[in-house]
Amino acid sequence: MDSPRHFLQLKDLSRDELDYLFERTRIIKARFKTYQRHWPLQDRTLVMIFEKASTRTRLSFEAGVQQLGGSAIYLNTRDSQLGRGEPVEDAAEVISRMSDMVMIRTFEQDIIERFASHSRVPVINGLTNEYHPCQILADIFTFIEHRGPIQGKTVAWIGDSNNVCNTWLQAAEIFGFDVHVSTPPGYEVEAERAGLYGTAHFKQFADPMDAARDVDLVTTDVWTSMGFEAENEERLRDFADWQVDAEMMRAARPDAVFMHCLPAHRGEEVAAEVIDGAQSVVWDEAENRLHTQKALMEFLLLGRVND
Ligand code: CP
Ligand code: NVA
């Protein structure tokens, strides 16, 4: 049996494969918008395992696989044996014999790596503490739709150096753009945890205004990610000066777009006037989770197709 292709972090796909995915996303999105049936995954089953909450990821995978002609099964830690100590390796052996593809949202990256190493079918990372590769597929596709190629551009990441930030940094290495990161002291990027080959594509700034200056895209995320709730009070204090507000958007290029993976906390990491303002593309970004992940699922199961 050939070993399956997994998507555990963004760099699991090459630049060429990602470019293909975006090209395919355009076709799949256009078909969806015009009600054209596209059922390449007829009779295929996706199992979705959630150890953390979700709105967008669950919806986009469940709707997405159905729109491709397949079906989805939702499992969570609470109602399955996963929450009662069944080894992840055993779960992977069993689940992957009964399905065609698995999407997992969990805590440490190590959990999904262990699952994948015992899985007969492709495994997709639907968010771990370290990475959120499906989010960045949608984000880059959204940027391209609004502004064209991202190569050579500059992105400002303001706030926590979390899973979404790490994945933006991997994307910068793959696509050849720069990321200006500004975090409060003590929350800086850890290059090794981010899975980076080097530091050529990112620059850390003490002052978030400096990070935002003349960039093409400003983005941020919650100050407290899932799994870190115990630190919430401390983080509210530490991140108070790292809000993306209108003044910060004025420091960016006039045609800069604003992105947020959502859910957002208006008045914390982003001011309402920014996320609800003219430069914000967050609803397109959320919608594109659906289209990019449909292209991803098709690719992982069928490889390149040209119908
Ligand atoms: N952006 C994102 O992954 O949202 P959910 O947590 O709602 O899935
Ligand atoms: N960084 C956030 C993203 C949520 C989609 C978290 O991990 O909770």
pLDDT digits (tens, 9 = 90+) for 240-298: 999 999 999 999 999 999 999 999 999 999 999 999 999 999 999 999 999 999 999 99
Task: Give me the pLDDT at residue 39, please.
Answer: 98
Find the CATH number of the domain harbouring 281.
3.40.50.1370
pLDDT tens-digit readout, 177-230 = 999 999 999 999 999 999 999 989 999 999 999 999 999 999 999 999 999 999
Say yes or no: CB of residue 59 within 6 Å of ligand 1. no
Q: Residue 127 CA: which ligand 2 atom is closest?
A: 7
d(CA 277, ligand 1 centre) in Å = 21
**Ligand closest to the CA atom of residue 58:** 1
**In the annotation, is 132 catalytic?**
yes
Task: Give me the pLDDT at residue 2, please.
Answer: 76
d(CA 133, ligand 2 centre) in Å = 12
Does residue 307 lie in a domain region?
A: no
Residue 101 three-state SS: strand
Task: Give me the pLDDT at residue 78, please.
Answer: 87
Same domain, 43 and 180: no
**In the annotation, is 147 catalytic?**
no
Helix axes of 109-117 and 88-95: crossing angle, nearest 10 degrees = 50
Task: Give me the pLDDT at residue 215, please.
Answer: 98
Q: Residue 160 CA: which ligand 2 atom is closest?
A: 1
Residues having CB within 6 Å of any atom of ligand 2: 127, 162-164, 221-222, 225-226, 261
**In the annotation, is 135 catalytic?**
yes
The answer to whether 52 touches 105, Cβ cutoff 8 Å, is yes
**Position 82 confidence tier, pLDDT thresholds 50, 70, 90:** confident
**In the annotation, is 293 catalytic?**
no
Task: Give me the pLDDT at residue 1, please.
Answer: 64
pLDDT tens-digit readout, 199-212 = 899 999 999 999 99
Domain containing 72 equals 10-132+289-302
User: How far is the CA of 269 from the CAs of 18, 102, 244, 266, in angstroms?
Assistant: 30, 32, 6, 7
The answer to whether 65 touches 102, Cβ cutoff 8 Å, is no
CA distance 89 to 87: 5
Say yes or no: CB of residue 54 within 6 Å of ligand 1. yes
Same domain, 128 and 209: no
pLDDT tens-digit readout, 155-176 = 999 999 999 999 999 999 999 9
**In the annotation, is 221 catalytic?**
yes
Order of strands across the sheet that contains 45-50: 71-76, 45-50, 101-105, 123-125
Please identify which of the residues 24, 56, 132, 291 carries the catalytic annotation: 132
Q: Residue 52 CA: which ligand 1 atom is closest?
A: 6
Compute the mean pLDDT over every residue in the chain, rounded to the nearest whole number.
97
- Count of Cβ atoms closer than 10 Å to residue 196 Cβ: 19
Does residue 1 lie in a domain region?
A: no
Structural domains of the chain, count: 2
Same domain, 46 and 89: yes
Does residue 199 lie in a domain region?
A: yes
CA distance 95 to 83: 15
Same domain, 281 and 223: yes
Does residue 276 lie in a domain region?
A: yes
